Structure 1
Amino acid sequence: MADITQIFKGTQIALPSFAAIKLNASTWVIDEKLDENRVDGVHKPFSDPEQQPSNWTAKYLCHDHDFPHTEAFMRVYCQGPDEGTEFLLPEVRAQQANPHFEKWEATARRKFRQNGCESVPLLLGCGQSVQGDHGPVPGGYITYLVLKKVPGQILTPDIFWSMERPKRDLLRQKFRAAYEEMSSCGWAPVGEHITKIIWDQASASLWITGFRGSYPVDGKWTDDVLTYYNLINPPASDVWKTLDEWEW
């Protein structure tokens, strides 16, 4: 399969089926590259596989080859070369290859689909492969994730706090239900913030997104979660005893 140096508008990427999570094989056509980030790592051993020192990632808008009206987002992760080795011969870079590394986001997304979690965008396709002879790190990992494009918009503080109190309370209620369902699967996004929420005002539907960084959670709810996601504001005074004193 193609790494991010080989993916362009019109590129077709075929992903396998996963019977364990009831995911059929599918082919996705790239429509547009939305962002790309390349981080080359320092060459040193890491005992924690999540601390893979190099990581190239890109996000694309795409559609299903067989069902063109099905729009989705594709996230591609691939191993990048260690810092200072970018222009060495491919056979030298190949010595850095880690073909079995997988981002926690991939683990989390499969868990969400397996559990039928409706609080995050649905996983429509996934795949794990290795780079070819001309990849950034020949033999290094490539991970593909395809997520359903949901309606609505990314929530911001300006949008949220411009709502009337009843609408804010409804959104908080929806968020708590979504968060509890999501976290019951054992995962949450790193960097909790209001912009991790997609809100569709027309249907009063809500999804939690932004799992590029993911971490395990125990699934327990406390109202402190509302503060992490900026859905309540601290009081003007630094002296307060309960969250009831915060701005709701």
Structure 2
Amino acid sequence: MDGPAPPQPEEFLDTIVEFNKGTSYERLQPITDYRPDPGEARILYICRQTQGGRNRSQDSDDEEFVMKIKIQVPPRPASTDPTAPLSGPSETTEAELKALQTFRQSGLEGVPHLIDTKCTPQGPDGPFPGGYISYTVMTKMPGLDLMASKFWSLADEEKDERREAFLLVLKSIWRLGIAPYDCALRNVLWDPEQRKCSIVDFEHYDPAKDPINMHQKEEMQRWGLVQRPPPSHWAIEWGLIKEPGGA
């Protein structure tokens, strides 16, 4: 018999999230589903600052940001998930915080910047009382991701324009020593007004090489902006890969 359904975010998350130094943000609409991962769950919201602080926008009181919330969840049967509440944040959150802060300090365009962060214990209504809830507020990047905008249905000239803009941003990220490896069209956004790309999601990355050594076509293949070549006959014959459509 299944146990009780796990609580949903609205049941244990505050609508107004208070940070240090008197800063607070209001959670608005979610932009992802509530998704369980090994050891933790996550959800992203649009948010708006409701009370001042050193990072408050000077241009508009209505500026929107992105709030990423990550929550420790109970261990699953026969898993390696932590069995005790942790103070957090998780390793992937720490990695992203470091990247976002680096982007902010360098003033790099085409990537989100860190605005605010905190990590606090869950209350009794959370999925794993005493475990962590981490909050990361970052700048909201304009545009729609290339997967949602059906990149491969665009005209060749439009695809090439996005590829060139993507490479400009990726090379600038590499120059800061960061090579993201969660490579997917959903993490590349296109701003139709500025005609620029941005890249998001920096929970996973390796130390980057000098971008002068970047193999541009291979990188675009990894990110899904260029199709990979079909498998060679000798690779199939030697059993290195399966024949397309084969068992």
TM-score, normalized by the shorter chain, greater than 0.5 = yes
Deviations 1:147-195 (A, max 9, x none): 2222211113843552343x43332222112001223333344431222
Pair 95,199 (structure 1): closer, same or farther in 2 beyond 3 Å: closer
The answer (yes or no) to whether the contact 1:185–1:219 under 8 Å persists in 2 is: no
2:19 counterpart residue number: 15
The answer (yes or no) to whether the contact 1:108–1:214 under 8 Å persists in 2 is: no
| Residue 133 of structure 1, CA deviation | 4.5
Pair 236,78 (structure 1): closer, same or farther in 2 beyond 3 Å: closer
For the residues of structure 1 that align with 2:133 and 2:209, how far apart are their CA atoms? 30
Percent identity over the alignment?
A: 23
The answer (yes or no) to whether the contact 2:47–2:66 under 8 Å persists in 1 is: yes
1:216 counterpart residue number: 206
1:202 counterpart residue number: 193
1:242 counterpart residue number: none
From 67, 75, 83, the counterpart of 1:74: 67
RMSD: 2.9
For the residues of structure 1 that align with 2:137 and 2:197, how far apart are their CA atoms? 19
For the residues of structure 1 that align with 2:153 and 2:209, how far apart are their CA atoms? 27
- Which one-letter code corresponds to 1:194 in the other structure? L
2:226 counterpart residue number: 232
Pair 188,236 (structure 1): closer, same or farther in 2 beyond 3 Å: closer
The answer (yes or no) to whether the contact 2:12–2:125 under 8 Å persists in 1 is: no
Q: Does 1:57 align with 2:55?
A: no
1:163 counterpart residue number: 155
For the residues of structure 2 that align with 1:70 and 1:180, how far apart are their CA atoms? 28
Pair 37,158 (structure 1): closer, same or farther in 2 beyond 3 Å: closer
**What TM-score does the superposition give when structure 2 sets the normalisation length?**
0.70
The answer (yes or no) to whether the contact 2:100–2:112 under 8 Å persists in 1 is: no
Pair 173,100 (structure 1): closer, same or farther in 2 beyond 3 Å: same
Gaps of 5+ in 1: 18-24, 40-52, 85-93, 240-248
Secondary structure in 1 matching 2:34: strand
For the residues of structure 2 that align with 1:63 and 1:235, how far apart are their CA atoms? 45
2:12 counterpart residue number: 6
Gaps of 5+ in 2: 1-7, 52-59, 234-247
- Which one-letter code corresponds to 1:58 in the other structure? I
